[in-house]
Structure 1
Amino acid sequence: MECEHARTALAAQVLGTLEEPEQESLGMHLDQCPACHSEWEELLGLLPLLDTVMPYELDGVPTPDPARAVELARRAEADRE
């Protein structure tokens, strides 16, 4: 496995979508390539951080507005009546 392919496989492995034969190939590559192994360790370190980010905290995603949600629900209910 070449590094370029390994980097793509790393992302798939993190997401849990890498198939078994490629997992073995990636593992062998990581054992032999310090650069890709370092990138793998960095990705593993980021995983716990992703669990702490709320989607609305990301750039470009609006913060939830509970008052607006209630108002829209009231309007929808009034429209049904």
Structure 2
Amino acid sequence: MECERARTAFAAQMLGGLDRPQHESVAEHLDRCPSCRAERDELLVLLPLLDGVRLYELDGVPDPDPERAVRAAREMATDRD
């Protein structure tokens, strides 16, 4: 297995997306390729951090504005009266 394929595959492996033969092929590659092993180790550190990312912290998604939300709710309540 070449490095480019291995890098794609071990990302899928970490997410549980490989069958047994693919998993074994990636494991064999990682055993003999220090560069891919280092990249996999970096991903293993980053993966849990992604769980902590909130949508509003991503580019293009506005920060939450509780005051604006309260104002909008009050305006909607006033419009109903």
Match status 1:24 vs 2:24 = yes
Q: 2:42: which partner in 1?
A: 42
When normalised by structure 1's length, the TM-score is 0.74
Shift of 1:65: 4.7
Deviates most, 47-56 or 35-44: 47-56
Q: Distance in 2 between matches of 1:19 and 1:63?
A: 40
Q: Over residues 6-28 of structure 1, what are the superposed CA-to-partner deviations in whole Å (9 max), with x where a residue is unaligned? A: 01102211222122210110001
Residue 5 of structure 1 aligns with an amino acid whose one-letter code is R
Structure 1: segments with no counterpart, 5+ residues: none
Residue 23 of structure 1 aligns with an amino acid whose one-letter code is H
When normalised by structure 2's length, the TM-score is 0.74
Extract structure 1 runs of 4+ deviating beyond 2 A. 62-66
Q: How many residue pairs are counted as aligned between the two chains?
A: 73
SS of equivalent residue, structure 1 residue 61: coil
Q: Distance in 1 between matches of 2:65 and 2:48?
A: 27
Q: Distance in 2 between matches of 1:13 and 1:65?
A: 38
SS of equivalent residue, structure 2 residue 53: coil
Structure 2: segments with no counterpart, 5+ residues: none
Shift of 1:45: 0.7
Q: Could you say if the C-alpha distance between residues 24 and 56 of structure 1 is closer, same or farther in structure 2, counting changes exceeding 3 Å?
A: same
